[in-house]
Amino acid sequence: MNTEKSLLIINGGSSSIRFAFYRVADAAFTILLKGKLHNIGNKTTGPVLTTNTSDKPQKPDIRENTYEHAAQFLVAWLENQQEFPQVSAIGHRIVHGMEQTEPQEITPELLAYLKTISPYDPEHLPEEIKLIELFGQCHPALKQIACFDTAFHANMPAVAKRLPIPRRFSGKGLHRYGFHGISYAYLMQELESLAGKKAANGKVILAHLGNGASMAAVKERRCLDTSMGFTPASGVMMGTRSGDIDPGVAWYMMQFEKLSPKEFNHLVNHESGLIGVSETSADMQELMQLQTTDHCAEEAIALFCYQVKKHIGSFAAVLGGVDTLVFSGGIGENIPQIRSGICEDLGFLGVTVDEEQNQNNKAIISDIAGKVIVRVIATNEELMIARLVSQVLN
């Protein structure tokens, strides 16, 4: 029996909103329209709207370049697309779910719960809630489904979840959650599709490297550890996020630089990482072009590769070896030099790269003599959300 339906997928980030319309028929997902509204909050360039149906980016007329006004514009814009009237449900990526581990329909109770945990992720949850409420106000009869980024990591061992702080805080939800879980779930499905069940059941390190970057160690399909912890600002350095830093840095910044907690949060989320070290750009492609003449850009690139390399080594220890290393995300999928820099000197783990394959962005870039299969797999969070939404509706 044909069970055709259409879904709208909303993937809200801290400064961008990705969207996609899918037609779903008999478990087949067909993309109808996709795009993103990005540079939200950027006072220099202003918001930019790009779609797969137009070669020319649009500069939307938004009254104020805030997330709320950008969200209002995008909801109205999506309503005017020819695909919208056929939509039977909207799927949302929710970055932080805390104890929520399964995709589910958004009820008033769930929305109230998300509002109570917003302080745990002030960079994402408030904006994601705004999008849910906007669609709910305009289309109250339309089902909305929450898909949680933290769910993939929910079954991590207790030792990987625990924070080394006084035990009383764990009862308040202070432990390591992990993020980018929707991307990781998709990558594991793709790995099985490409390489079979044996590879997917093996010792796998997933590297989601983009403006937001994280890694996960997976064995027998269970996540054993991940680089991000209590918040998405932790782990390896990113475009504008610091990644892991000495807690004493917070004390120093507040005591001697007189930063308020809010200002420090902004510092580690929006002024650090690649942009902080390079002082020029958070965009890895731009830094690659600058590195021969700009020492700070060169140092930012080297630090990024170094931190990812360290996590591969530590995750190999957690897994007891490595069978497959997967690169994904905007950086991991598209910049061969970064993959080379990360894999350099990892031969002792069995990681060796065929540079010709790597430079040509082939699906498998490992040397034939290497023990570890190194793959490049394009992630697709929107498709994974559509699959999860379809499961809930069925």
List the domain boundaries for the chain. Answer: 5-148, 196-376
Q: Are strands 48-51 and 28-38 parallel, antiparallel or unpaired?
A: antiparallel
The domain made up of 196-376 has a fold known as Nucleotidyltransferase; domain 5 (3.30.420)
In this predicted structure, which of 45-59, 152-166, 307-321 has the lowest mean pLDDT? 45-59
Q: Active-site residue among 149, 225, 323, 367?
A: 149
Give 312's contacts (C-beta < 8 A, 6+ positions apart): 205, 207, 215, 322, 325, 342, 346, 349, 351
Domains 5-148 and 196-376 share a fold: yes
Question: Which range has the worst mean pLDDT, 46-60, 81-95, 226-240?
Answer: 46-60
**Average pLDDT, integer, range 331-344:** 98
Superfamily of domain 5-148 in CATH is: ATPase, nucleotide binding domain (3.30.420.40)
Residue 2 has pLDDT above 60, yes or no: no
Query: Does residue 352 carry a pLDDT above 90?
Result: yes
Is residue 39 within 8 A of residue 16, CB to CB? The reply is yes
Q: How far apart are CA 389 and CA 43, in angstroms?
A: 35
Q: CA 40, CA 35: separation in Å to the nearest integer?
A: 14
Q: Give 297's pLDDT tier (boundaries 50, 70, 90).
A: very high
Flag whether pLDDT at 340 surpasses 90: yes
In one letter, which amino acid is 61? D
Per the CB < 8 A criterion, the answer to whether 183 and 189 are in contact is: no
Q: For position 3, what pLDDT does the model report? A: 60
Q: Is 225 a catalytic residue?
A: no
Q: Is the pTM of this model over 0.85?
A: yes
Q: Over the range 200-212, which residues count as b (16 or more CB within 10 Å of their CB) and which as e?
A: bbbbbbbbbbbbb
Sequence-distant (≥ 6) Cβ neighbours of residue 116 within 8 angstroms: none
